[in-house]
Amino acid sequence: MTTLKPVSRVTLGEQVAAQLADQITQGRWQIGEKLPSENELCSTLGIGRSTLREALKSLAYVGMIRMRPGEGTYVAGTSQYLSNRILADGRLKTEKQLDDVGEARLILETELAALAAERAEPGDLQRLESLLADMGRSLETGEGRPYAQLDVEFHLAIAKTSKNAVLIELFTAMRAVLHEWISKSQELPGVAANAHVSHTKILEALRQHKPEKARRAMRAHLHTCERAFTLLDKISKTAEIGPKARADAHPAEQTPT
């Protein structure tokens, strides 16, 4: 019997990015060609400007388009896509390995957040508030420690707030891959900013000592990060397969010698 699985929720921006990527690889717009104006794309797709810009940033980051301020957006001809660059370094070199870490985080951290909400003491909350403030400064000004490093410390602090020695040890053992997973996810546009909003919601749930709210906030945060990797994978695979498919369908004529 086939097992039912949760349906993955995608944002409107992700849907638009995937649709534009598909149109580009199908040859609707050629390399070097300028895409329609933002007004025209918004009208055609029935979306707002902020949604379109979210999608375009994703496509620009994976190398499919070039956004030229004051000129417009053009189809790029690069073959080196972001997925390859992200997976090139470190120990997490495949999508399966990224998925495994994400799955482990989902299992451990949702419950750690719930326990932390039950057991948080004033000192624990002060530590988390201090980290969140440092993260905000890093995000806004680039000063201080890198956001990804502070992000890891924030999640480790939540684990310690659970007051469960075994779970803390298990989660701390993941520190190296946790840092790599977070760092790689934050190479994608908008992920760090979205993470900061999520961290604020998680901390608010801990302050209120509401375990279920903390559990939901952590789950939503981790799902958002996973969707970023999913979108990256989908766009990059479409981009890599598309040109080959077009070449197979329309092989270049050979010049007689």
Q: What CATH number should be reported for the domain holding residue 226?
A: 1.20.120.530
Q: What are the pLDDT digits (tens) for 170-215?
A: 999 999 999 988 888 887 767 788 899 999 999 999 999 999 999 9
Which tokens go with 104?
């482990």
Cα–Cα distances (Å) from 86 to 66, 73, 111, 146, in that order, read 19, 24, 29, 17
- Is 247 inside any structural domain? no
- Is 85 inside any structural domain? no
69 and 147: one domain?
A: no
pTM: 0.68
Average pLDDT across the chain, whole number: 82
227 and 102: one domain?
A: yes
Q: What are the pLDDT digits (tens) for 229-238?
A: 776 666 666 5
Q: Which helix (H) or strand (E) holds 116?
A: helix 95-119
Q: From CA 78, how far away is CA 31, in angstroms rounded?
A: 9
Q: Domain tally for the chain?
A: 2
Q: What are the pLDDT digits (tens) for 97-145?
A: 888 888 999 999 999 999 999 999 999 999 999 999 999 999 999 889 9
Q: From CA 147, how far away is CA 126, in angstroms rounded?
A: 19
Q: Between these two residues, 13 and 151, which has the higher pLDDT value?
A: 151
- Is 136 inside any structural domain? yes
**DSSP class of 45:** H
117 and 69: one domain?
A: no
- Is 46 inside any structural domain? yes
Q: What are the pLDDT digits (tens) for 15-71?
A: 888 888 888 877 889 888 999 999 999 999 999 999 998 888 878 766 678 888 889
Q: Which helix (H) or strand (E) holds 72?
A: strand 72-75
Q: In this structure, how many other beta carbons lie within 10 angstroms of the beta carbon of residue 250? A: 9
